[in-house]
């Protein structure tokens, strides 16, 4: 089926997921919504996050999307249950990669950097309880990081200083895995590498989301015909130039849309 995959995030962070999906599924068309005007989602209530997720989902459905990727940990952990109950299309969500970290850690100490909305969600709590028993999980809210990334400052001194502050207690506790629980944070990896000792593994869920998307498309007979040259549409309701700088593909058109 050659209709597009819909992807949304509170802003530019979900482009890190789009890149994984596009790498694994090069024939699939996509529509990406960056709801940057409402970023960050992370400190909003569950109800407010659900309302934004509904708005984005309904817009993607108006583009005839066959499957929707909620490329935002905060929206997934707060709203995916409701979305799945309400709309007939399949949804793929993203959650902090606690399980892979729990399997890889040797020190039995894992750090999780995520938004307040994700860390306080029932889904995160249940996942951590299920997969991280016997492991110390050191959580930290990445307060302010989404705003810095949304303004293209992911490699600034300000960002580096915030990260140093947030990671210090994790380093003191002896973590050997750091889970990036927000789709904006993969863009912090170059800065993180200047702070973290080399033996600490940085783990995110992007590739797993792409694999899950592929599996669902196959299972539901929704995959695009092979060798299709797909169309990609990117929309931002704020600064289009910032979204373009994250997409980094001159062929792909990024447009303003008032949503
Ligand atoms: N990319 C979103 C996430 O994965 C950022 C949340 C926010 O806007 O605070 O959680």
User: Topology of 5-94+206-253 in CATH?
Assistant: Rossmann fold (3.40.50)
- Ligand 1 centroid – CA 227 distance (Å): 33
- Ligand 1 centroid – CA 202 distance (Å): 18
The per-residue pLDDT for 182 is 96
The per-residue pLDDT for 227 is 85
* Packing angle, helices 73-86 and 122-131, rounded to 10: 100
- Ligand 1 centroid – CA 117 distance (Å): 8
How confident is the model over 18-62, as pLDDT tens digits?
Answer: 999 999 999 999 999 999 999 999 999 999 999 999 999 999 999
Is the pLDDT at 250 greater than 90? The verdict is no
* 3-state percent helix, strand, coil for the chain, nearest multiple of 5: 45, 15, 35
Query: Where in the chain do CATH 3.40.50.1860 domains reside?
Result: 5-94+206-253, 98-203
74 in contact with ligand 1, CB cutoff 6 A: yes
The per-residue pLDDT for 193 is 97
182 in contact with ligand 1, CB cutoff 6 A: yes
The per-residue pLDDT for 228 is 85
When pLDDT is averaged across residues 236-255 and rounded to a whole number, the result is 93
When pLDDT is averaged across residues 125-152 and rounded to a whole number, the result is 94
Say what percent of the chain tops pLDDT 70: 100
Record the pTM. Answer: 0.95
How confident is the model over 206-245, as pLDDT tens digits?
Answer: 999 999 999 999 999 999 998 889 999 999 999 999 999 9
187 in contact with ligand 1, CB cutoff 6 A: no
pLDDT band at residue 1 under the 50/70/90 scheme: confident
Which residue, judged by its Cα, is nearest atom 2 of ligand 1? Answer: 72
How confident is the model over 141-194, as pLDDT tens digits?
Answer: 999 999 999 999 999 999 999 999 999 999 999 999 999 999 999 999 999 999
* Dihedral over Cα of 66, 95, 124, 133: its sign: positive
121 in contact with ligand 1, CB cutoff 6 A: no
- Ligand 1 centroid – CA 156 distance (Å): 19
39 in contact with ligand 1, CB cutoff 6 A: yes
The per-residue pLDDT for 52 is 98
- Distance set, CA 43 to CA 21, 40, 47, 202, 230 (Å): 27, 7, 12, 24, 36
69 in contact with ligand 1, CB cutoff 6 A: no
CATH of the structural domain 98-203, one choice from 2.30.130.10, 3.40.50.11740, 3.40.50.1860, 3.40.50.720: 3.40.50.1860
Question: Which residues are known to be catalytic?
Answer: 72, 182
Lowest mean pLDDT among 106-115, 159-168, 244-253: 244-253
Q: Among 15, 37, 75, 185, which residue has the most ligand 1 atoms within 8 Å of its CB, making it the best to mutate? A: 75
């Amino acid at each position: 089926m050659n209709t597009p995959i819909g992807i949304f995030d509170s802003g530019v962070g979900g482009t890190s997921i789009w890149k994984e999906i596009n790498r694994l599924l090069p024939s699939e068309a996509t529509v990406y919504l960056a709801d940057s005007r409402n970023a960050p989602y992370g400190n909003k209530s569950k109800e407010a996050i659900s309302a934004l997720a509904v708005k984005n989902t309904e817009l993607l459905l108006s583009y005839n999307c066959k499957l929707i990727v909620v490329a935002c940990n905060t929206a997934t952990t707060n709203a995916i249950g409701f979305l799945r109950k309400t709309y007939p299309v399949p949804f793929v969500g993203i959650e902090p990669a606690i399980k892979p970290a729990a399997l890889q850690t040797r020190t039995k100490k894992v750090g999780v950097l995520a938004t307040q909305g994700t860390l306080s969600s029932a889904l995160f709590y249940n996942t951590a309880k299920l997969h991280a028993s016997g492991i110390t999980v050191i959580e930290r809210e990445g307060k302010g990081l989404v705003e810095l990334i949304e303004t293209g400052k992911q490699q600034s001194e300000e960002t580096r200083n915030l990260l140093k502050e947030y990671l210090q207690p994790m380093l003191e506790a002896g973590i050997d895995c750091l889970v990036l629980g927000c789709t904006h944070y993969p863009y912090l990896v170059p800065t993180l590498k200047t702070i973290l000792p080399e033996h600490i593994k940085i783990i995110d869920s992007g590739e797993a989301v792409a694999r899950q998307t592929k599996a669902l498309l196959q299972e539901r007979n929704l995959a695009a015909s092979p060798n299709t040259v797909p169309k990609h549409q990117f929309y931002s309701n704020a600064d289009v130039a910032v979204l373009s700088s994250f997409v980094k593909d001159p062929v792909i058109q990024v447009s303003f849309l008032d949503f």
